[in-house]
Structure 1
Amino acid sequence: MKNTLLKNVIATTPALQRARGAGAIVTKQRDGRTRLDQLFQDGCGKIRLPNTHSSALEAVLINTAGGITGGDQLQWRAEVAAGGHLVVTTQACERSYRSTGDTARVETRLKVGVGAHLDWLPQETILFEASKLDRRLDIELDAGATLTAIEAILLGRDAMGEEARDAELRDNWRIYRCGRLIHAEATQLTGAGSERDGLSLLAHCRAFASIVHIAADADRAEILRDRIRTILPANGQIAASANGERLVIRAMARSGLALRRLIVPTLLELTGAGSLPRLWHL
């Protein structure tokens, strides 16, 4: 009798409402400036275009749900016209909250036209205790296109002393040049203590970031690598390497503030405008 009653309760429990959102932006070139051509928004996915003094177009991605949790789905798309410059950032740090079982999914697809540049500069993602997040980033670059992209993760909130040791993350990047795969990486956190404490992994750090810059050619990537290495702090857990047209920077720190102090000078060297969006400084 007890088991039958329990089954009936489970069967009649309503499914929790989940957030769905999507946003897309396409640019065009006019009078030497990058302008908006197409804009699409759906659900909790919103895009705002603040006024700037740059010839680039800046787009701010907003998740009006206030964060993501198990079962939520977000999709972002951006396409930069040939010769254009688009800067994409987020209104604030994205928050991945505790999940009751399902995994939150965020999918981003970016396309950069011939000779164009894209700065993909979302602010950090904060993983809360028992959160589950699966992200995928796919980028297609045409001939001569360049890219600066970052994804940064904070494990819990600094001010609350959180560590989010059981947070789960899958983060996959794929970057193509004219249809040819030139960069692939996968990051996974399963909640195992060895991932957080191992000296060859996070080594007790609670914040980490990957920065990838795709230059026009290998020579330019090496020049940028050498310049970046001159500004890296001697005692910071950050390093840069170049392989062909790819420049890859990895950084980790004990706190989100310490991580920002490591990555901001590097990003300033790599962005197309030589500056970060104003939202990064608020």
Structure 2
Amino acid sequence: MHGPPPAGARLQRSSGQGRLAVRRADGRTRLAGLYQEGAQKIRLPRPLGRRDLEAVLINTAGGLTGGDRLCWSVEAAAGSALTVTSQACEKVYRSLGDSARVTSRLALGPGARLCWLPQETILFDGSRLDRRLSAEMAPDAELLIVEATLFGRAARGETVAAGAFRDRWDVACAGVPLHVEAVRLDGAPQALLDRQAVAAGRTALATVLRVAPQAAADLDAARALVHDAERAVPGLAGGVSAWRVGPTGKLLARLTAQDGHALRRGLVPLMRLLAGEAGVPRMWAL
């Protein structure tokens, strides 16, 4: 049977929670707490020879659609080091009206290092996604956030002519807001992306935020990487800036590209630089 469901039909929706906490003990990062519910799973494959942990987030539902609700919570206690990634790209399918909602909450104790590096989110035509990320961190903690979003798959000729995408970040240090941003593309995302001041027709977007006392030290190297990528990858464009904010600093990069492959060519070297000894998660190479 095809077409919309009968009026009043109750549709099955995906929901879940995943909570992860780590601490430093005996000179390395160890698991302190793990909770999984519903469609959300967390796996911890420990790379050989490393003292930090790598966590892989899994949505067993295989994607998101209108009405789905997922919530991730990650806590890195004092002195711990954790990298979080996803098993695969998250796909957001056509909605019948409601938005899929994904909430991520991050907490970093003194001296903690957390890299939040999920693989790309792919939006399909008619999809609706409300994504929110919040982080609270100590002044000497280090945080790297990368979020990449693809509006359709260019290789298959897909566009997102209709739908909605809302993305909000709230990052605070010792209770003081240091990075707040909100993106809203409602109604006709492709038409908005076509505007010169938005994405100039590019459909693959990424935001990279590093918060650390020494974040500005990577500014020149990050700009050089983006410049080299712009020369090597047709249609790729980006920019990097850095500021001192209260007791810490932040570096912010934006990249846009014609497709996901081009975006990765610019994004992965930048991730490798900013992640430092944590490196790029192995899942990004699969």
Residue in 1 that maps onto 2:170: 174
**Is 2:34 the partner of 1:30?**
no
Aligned ranges 1:85-234 → 2 under 5 Å: 85-192=81-188, 193-216=190-213, 220-232=214-226, 233=228, 234=230
SS in structure 1 of the partner of residue 277 of structure 2: coil
Cα drift, residue 164 of structure 1: 1.5
Counterpart residue number, 2:3: none
Q: TM-score, normalised by structure 1?
A: 0.92
Displacement of 1:31 in angstroms is 1.6
Q: Give the structure 2 partner of residue 6 of structure 1.
A: none
Q: Map 1:50-89 onto structure 2 (within 5 A).
A: 50-53=45-48, 54-89=50-85
* Pick aligned residue for 2:277 from 266, 273, 276: 273
In the aligned structure 2, how far is the partner of 1:205 from the partner of 1:191? 18
1:256: Cα distance to partner? 0.2
Distance 2:168 2:39 in 1: 23
Larger deviation: 247-256 or 161-170?
Answer: 161-170
Contact (CA 8 Å) 2:23, 2:79: kept in 1 or not?
no
Equivalent pairs counted in the alignment come to 269
Matched position secondary structure for 2:98 = coil
Please list the CA deviations of residues 131-190 of structure 1 after superposition, one character each: whole Å capped at 9, or x if unmatched: 000010000001300111011100112332101221310000000001110000111111
Q: Give the conservation status (yes or no) of the 8 Å contact 2:154–2:258.
A: no
- Which residue is 2:14 aligned to? 19
Return the offset for 1:194: 4.1
3-state SS in 2 of match to 1:174? strand
The residue that corresponds to 1:243 in the other structure is 243
Structure 2: gaps (5+ residues) = 1-5
Q: What SS does the corresponding residue of 2:224 show, helix, strand or coil?
A: helix
SS for the counterpart of 1:140 is: strand
List gaps (5 residues or longer) in structure 1.
1-8
1:168 and 1:188 in contact (8 A); partners too: yes
Give the alignment's TM-score, normalised by structure 2. 0.91
Q: Which runs of 4+ in 1 moved over 4 A?
A: none
Please give the alpha-carbon distance, in whole angstroms, between the structure 1 residues aligned to 2:20 and 2:63.
Answer: 21
The one-letter amino acid of 1:246's match is K
Q: What is the aligned-residue identity percentage?
A: 46
Q: Distance in 1 between matches of 2:76 and 2:133?
A: 16
Q: C-alpha displacement at 1:273, in angstroms?
A: 2.3
Q: What RMSD in Å do the two structures reach over aligned CA positions?
A: 1.2
Q: CA deviation at 1:50?
A: 0.6
Look up the equivalent residue of 2:243 and give its one-letter code: N
CA shift for structure 1 position 274: 4.6
Q: Structure 1 residues 79, 272: closer, same or farther in 2, change over 3 A?
A: farther
Deviation string 1:39-98 (CA, Å, 9 cap, x unpaired) is: 000000100001212111111000000000000000000000101101000000000000
User: What is the CA deviation profile of residues 196-229 of structure 1, one whole-angstrom value per residue up to 9, with x for unaligned ones?
Assistant: 211111111010000000012xxx2222111111
Report if aligned partners of 1:117, 1:272 keep a CA contact under 8 Å in 2: no
Check conservation: 2:161, 2:191, Cα contact below 8 A.
Answer: no
